[in-house]
Amino acid sequence: MSRAPITERSMFGGYAPPLRLMSGAERRRWWLGHWRLAVPAVSSLFLLLFMTMPLPLPLPIFPELGLIAIFVWATFQPSLMPPWAAFLIGLVADLLFAQPLGVNATLFALIAGFVRWFEVRYGHHAHIFDWALALALVAGFEIGSWLLMDLGGQPTALAPLGWQWLTSLLAYPAVSALCGRLQRTILAADGGR
């Protein structure tokens, strides 16, 4: 079994399928056979949902699990976490966290696009390197959400978000281990056909 990452080419077998020649059942099987492509997006959504956990915390200090997941998937599987997918996940985050529509959507899309641009030029997937990059991006995200919350008409304070940066520092290894496990167990089973 090959462990090559999935690309746009391998995603659809390199050619357009003869859909008209297939029976209904075959067509359904062909489309449903691509459910693995949704794994990065769905796992990011689950982590976002996890962030709405009822914890008795007086400060916004829960780590940015959704953002870290988007970063990790953008490094592991760039073609499965394009900026538009990050945008849609960000819209769900805005709805979940009662923020003005567009704060997380814009920032997630920007970060997915930045990671894609950055990986081509400087990325080398050393764990410590990725960790440091993720922390820089979380810091950028906190400052960006502070600015965009102001733009969206709900100004907030920046200082408490520093705590969230600290907890994200600790949460990164766990999230990247989870995504790596998903990649090994689910995505690679289909990868590089």
Partner 1 sequence: MDWTPAPRRSSAIRRDQNFAIIGAVISGAVVATGLAMLLLARVNPDGAVRVRGAVLDIVAPIWAVARAPVDGVGRAADAVGAYLGAVSENRQLKRDLAEARAELQRAAADRQALRQLRRAEAVTEPRRRLVVTARIVSATPGSVVRTAIISAGAAQGVKLGQPAISADGLIGRTIEVGRHSARLLLLSDPASRVPVLISRTGEAALVKGDNKPSFELSARAGSDAPLKPGDVLLTSGEGGIYPPGVPVGTIISREPPWRVRPAASPLGAGFVRIEAAYQPLPQEAEGPIFDAMVPAEARRQGGVAGTVRRAESGDGAGEREGGDE
List residues binding partner 1 (CB under 8 A): 8, 49, 51-65, 82-84, 87, 90, 92, 95-103, 105-106, 109-110, 113, 145-146, 148-149, 151-157, 160-161, 164
Least Cβ distance, residue 22 to partner 1 (angstroms): 25
Q: Which is nearer to partner 1, 162 or 192 (CB)?
A: 162
Q: Which is nearer to partner 1, 101 or 189 (CB)?
A: 101
Q: Which is nearer to partner 1, 51 or 169 (CB)?
A: 51
Q: 168 burial class (0-12, 13-18, 19+ CB within 10 angstroms)?
A: buried
Q: Which is nearer to partner 1, 100 or 180 (CB)?
A: 100
Question: Nearest-5° angle of CA 97, CA 159, CA 170?
Answer: 70
DSSP code string of 107-135: HHHHHHHHHHHHHHHT----HHHHHHHHH
Least Cβ distance, residue 180 to partner 1 (angstroms): 22
E strands, the chain, where? none
Q: Tell me the C-alpha to C-alpha distance, in Å, between residue 43 and each of 70, 89, 178, 182.
A: 9, 10, 9, 9
d(CA 165, CA 24): 50
Q: Which is nearer to partner 1, 77 or 164 (CB)?
A: 164
Please name the amino acid found at residue 85.
Answer: A
d(CA 33, CA 36): 8
Least Cβ distance, residue 12 to partner 1 (angstroms): 13
Instruction: Quote the longest CA-to-CA distance of the chain.
Output: 61
